[in-house]
Structure formats: structure tokens, C-alpha cells
Structure 1
Amino acid sequence: MTYRMKLGIALLVVGLGGVVAAQSPAKPVRIRGEIAAVTADSLTVKRRSGDTVVVTLNPELTVSAVKNVPLAEVKPNTYVGVASMAGEGNKRTAIEVLVFPEAGRGTGEGHFDWDLGNNSMMTNANVDTAVQGVNGRTLTLSYKGGTQEITVPEDAPVVTIIPATKADLVAGKKVFVVGTPTGRDDNFRANRVVVEKDGVAPPM
């Protein structure tokens, strides 16, 4: 794995963990949507909420994509990021699972608020056990300060990170961007973009 890819993974996990928010003058914003237009140094993104924002691409931009991973491959000692919702009895059910390459292990570790729905949480943690059940695969996750038990339904997206390039940034593709506000309305800057590739959209 190249240094650039390792750096890219670290930057993505920063976005997933929000670990730099307290150190930055502006809190990073997660942008999810579809590319409406592309220039040499910017993306216009129509967000899921319906509004449109402009993302300026920093010169050191890293572009990545994701590919599907079989749920059965999420085994003990895998490092994952799991977005989940609380259900009956406060039992947590996964919305999506990101399997980190080994270079991303330990970065952004913890259990914290997420923004894929009311009461959604993100857990970046190590898989201690993975038990197949009737309703999916139940993972016991451990991180510094705690553990979580989360059931991953068979239809939940499970992906891992793969390389991509700026050539993959084309109108109509879905993207996940962690952007920093520039101080201008609906305008952000980004070092990292995760883009849809081969029909697989980033589920984060």
C-alpha cells in the first residue's frame, strides 16, 4: 500500500471520527449527495437534503472509492466502522459497515454520534466476535472505553476502501465528502472525496 493511500485512509477515518473538530477553527461537515457539475478544482454537489453546495478541491486531494465485501468476511480482529441505529430494547442494528484496511486500524476509535438518522451512532472498533444468526451477523465490537453489540442485517451495505482518481469524479456519481466551511454560504473545501465506482456508492 502506498504512502498516499495510507494517508488517504487516515484522512477518511478523521472524517468518520471527527477527531480534529476540536482543533480546527471550523467543524468539518459531512456532505452526501450526487455530483451535479465538475471543474478542474471544484465539485458542485446536490445533497440528499435537496440543496446544492460547492466543494473546492484542495491541491493535495485524495480520491477513493469503495467496493462491496461479503458480510461473512467480517471476522474477529477486523477493524471496522459501523453506523447503527438503536431499536427495541436499545439493541443496535447496523445501517452500513466499512471494513478498514490494516493501515487504518485504531484511527478514530470510539463510539460517537453520527448523522444518518435520529439517534444514529458510529462505532470504530475491533471485532471481537462475529456470530451468524437468523437476522444477520451479530458483531461484538471493542474500543477504548467500551464495547458494543451490533447486528448487521444481510442487506446492510458492507464495503472497504479502494483507490480512485480525479477522472472518476463525473456528474451523476454519488459522493461522500468531509468538507471544511470556507465562511461563504454553501461553500466548502476538501482534501478527500469518496466517489461511486463500478456501481457501488459510498454508504457512509
Structure 2
Amino acid sequence: MKLQLKLGAAVATFVIASAAFAQTPAAKPTRIRGEIVSLTGDTLTVHRRSGDTVTIDVKSSVPVTAVKNIKLEDIKPGSFVGTAATTGTDGKLTATEVLVFPEAARGTGEGHYAWDLGPNSSMTNANVDSVVQATSGRDLKLSYKGGNNSVTVPENVPVVTFAPAARTDLIAGKKVFIVASPVNGTQFAAQRIVVEKDGVVPPM
């Protein structure tokens, strides 16, 4: 019960932070992916995958969550998911990761938009209308406000959902995915953090 309450609180805070982002587009949030160098006071130092090192102000109110692996078979019609995907030369979407949102986070970031995970990358946060077994995995038919699309999820693609985490999990060597607001140069202010835990690296 305590675990469920902690996760519920984390998800609720995550949703609130996401909603705040949606209401302040001028902030132009940055997605930071990398490895923690240190956490000193409220200052988190991260070595980004791009090769540079940045400092991030982490207030006590910033939500910190983790992700855990689940099975591709756990994606059901009615699930609300966020999936990063690449567009092939045929125009079809192939997932590079799928996050299954808890019901409390349904609607978070809903839509289809460009993503910065790689070339020709997009993100679709949407409801799963149907799941069809395919030769290379599963085909998901997705719908969101204003549109719909289909994405193929290969068997080897990470499929995750949120798991509890805390500020104490922000330790050197752990991989992180952070949404932050630019402050000045290489300085940022964190809005929310997803941290590696139990060997599961945030795939988004």
C-alpha cells in the first residue's frame, strides 16, 4: 500500500508539472539525457550524451520518478501510451520505445509531434485503439485529439511504465532523462526527472 501511495503521488506531481509546461510554451523546455556526475545541495551536474556537461537546479518540489520494464503483451486496447518512433521511407512509424502511462497520467502530452531522440524521430502520446500481432512485433492503432496513426513495436523495443523513485536515487553514474528550463548557458532548472533505477535506463 505504501508503494502504491508513493507512486500515485509521484505520478500526480508528474502530471501537474506536465500541465504547467503545456500552459507556458514560452519557457521552451529542454530535454536533457545523460549521466549524473554529482548532486551537491540543489545542484545536479549531468554529462550529456552530446558530450558537454551542464548544471541543473533541482528544487525539493521537482518530481523524481523511475521506470520499470514491462512486457509488450502488457499494452492493451485502452492503454494510454507515449511512444517515440522513427519514420521509414515508406512513411510508416516504427517504435524505438513505449511508455505505458498509469491511468492517473492519462492525457499527459497528448498528440503527435517531433521528438529529439534521433533522426526522423517523433513522439505520439495517445490512446491504444487496437493491438494487432505482426511478424516483427505488434502494430498499435493510436488515436489522440486531432488525429490518429499506427506504429509497429518490434519485440526488442523497451516497453516501460513509471516506478517510484526519490531524490536519493540521483547518484553519480545513473542515467537520467530531464525536462528543464534553460537559465543561462549551461545552467538549467529542472521541471521533472526520470532516473535509472534497478538497472532500467529511461529510454525516452
Work out whether the TM-score is over 0.5.
Answer: yes
Provide the aligned length of Structure 1 versus Structure 2: 199
Residues 59, 9 of structure 1: alpha-carbon distance in 2 compared, 3 angstrom cutoff? closer
Note the 1:1-204 alignment, pairs <5 A.
2=5, 4-11=9-16, 13=18, 19-22=22-25, 24=26, 26-182=27-183, 184-204=184-204
Q: Secondary structure at the match of 1:115?
A: coil
Deviations 1:13-66 (A, max 9, x none): 559xx63452x4x31000000001111211110001000000110131211000
Q: Deviations over 1:45-89 (max 9, x none)?
A: 000100000011013121100000100110100000010001131
Task: Detail structure 1 runs of 4+ shifted over 4 Å in the superposition.
Answer: 11-15
Relative to structure 1, the CA distance from residue 44 to residue 174 in structure 2 (aligned partners, 3 Å threshold; closer, same or farther) is same
Give the letter aligned to residue 190 of structure 2.
Answer: A
* Aligned residue identity for 1:159: V
In the alignment, structure 2 segments of 5+ residues that lack a partner are none
Q: Distance in 1 between matches of 2:109 and 2:101?
A: 11
Q: Please, what is the CA RMSD of the aligned residues?
A: 1.7
Q: Tell me by how many angstroms 1:133 deviates.
A: 1.3
Where do 5+ consecutive residues of structure 1 fail to align?
A: none
Does the CA contact (< 8 Å) of 1:11 and 1:192 recur in 2?
Answer: no
TM-score, normalised via structure 1 length: 0.92
State the TM-score, normalized to the length of structure 2. 0.92
SS at match of 1:32: strand
